[in-house]
A = this chain, B = another copy of it.
Amino acid sequence: MDNSTNWQTRLHFLGIALLNELEQHAVLQSFPANTTLVREGQYVKLIPVVLQGAIKVFSSFEEKDLLLYYIQASESCIMSFAACQYNQPSRIMAITEEDSEVLLLPADKVQRWVKEYPSLNQLFFQQYNQRYTELIDTINHLLFNRLDERVYQYLLEKSRVKNETQLNIRHRQIAQELGTAREVVTRVMKRLEQEGRIQQQDGLIKIM
């Protein structure tokens, strides 16, 4: 597979001029699933643009985590962007959800590119907006939905991101990504199964 031209077509919306800059200064890198890319408190010097796969972004707080959103193809990470612009430490944790291919842009260059290339400026505004909206949804779910619904939505979203109808995932992980406990998830899953909304077999979860 010709990666170099590949990502250029995928990121075509950034414009030829910027693509040329990227070709020179950005680094293409692959990560296996479950690689931790950023930890909380870390200072970041590279800004990722996902080409393939997905990165999941967490908030961690006092030993407990909460899945905030996924970064998918053609998307970038506003937290790294912010972290480099204001030289703040990262407030989130980022882990590859699947084997992923990522274009890494040097932070100092991005500072300049944002000013020179409206397409990149546009991308980050759009990303900020999208992430912000997602967070508001997350908050509303947290505040007003029962755990049943949160778990179900979580499964739907994960299935959408991974593009699989069968999910291979442990109760423990679900619990961790939703910031709750394993037994609680087990019970909720039982209920969802009884309600005919999911099926569990051999550690696989099928969404109906």
Residues of A within 8 A of B (CB): 59, 61-62, 64, 66, 68, 78, 82, 85-86, 91-92, 115, 118, 121, 124-126, 128-129, 131-133, 135-136, 138-140, 142-144, 179
Contact = CB atoms under 8 A, between A and B. Distances in A.
A36 B59 CA distance: 32
Given A128-B128, A135-B139, A139-B139, A144 B61 contact: yes
B64 A132 contact: no
Contacts of A124: 125
Contact of A143 (B64, B86, B125, B136): B64
Nearest to A131: B132
Contacts of A125: 85, 124-125, 128
Nearest to A141: B61
Contacts of A82: 129, 132-133
Given A61-B143, A144-B179, 15 more contacts: A59-B136, A61-B144, A62-B144, A64-B143, A66-B140, A68-B136, A85-B129, A91-B136, A125-B128, A128-B129, A131-B132, A132-B132, A135-B139, A142-B142, A143-B179
Contacts of A129: 78, 82, 85-86, 128
A66 B132 contact: no
A75 to B, nearest CB: 15
Q: How many copies does the complex hold?
A: 2
A84 to B, nearest CB: 11
Contacts of A131: 132
Given A118-B115, A144-B179, A66 B139 contact: yes
14 contacts: A61-B140, A61-B144, A66-B139, A66-B140, A82-B129, A85-B125, A92-B136, A115-B121, A121-B121, A124-B125, A128-B129, A132-B135, A138-B139, A143-B179
Nearest to A66: B143
B59 A140 contact: yes
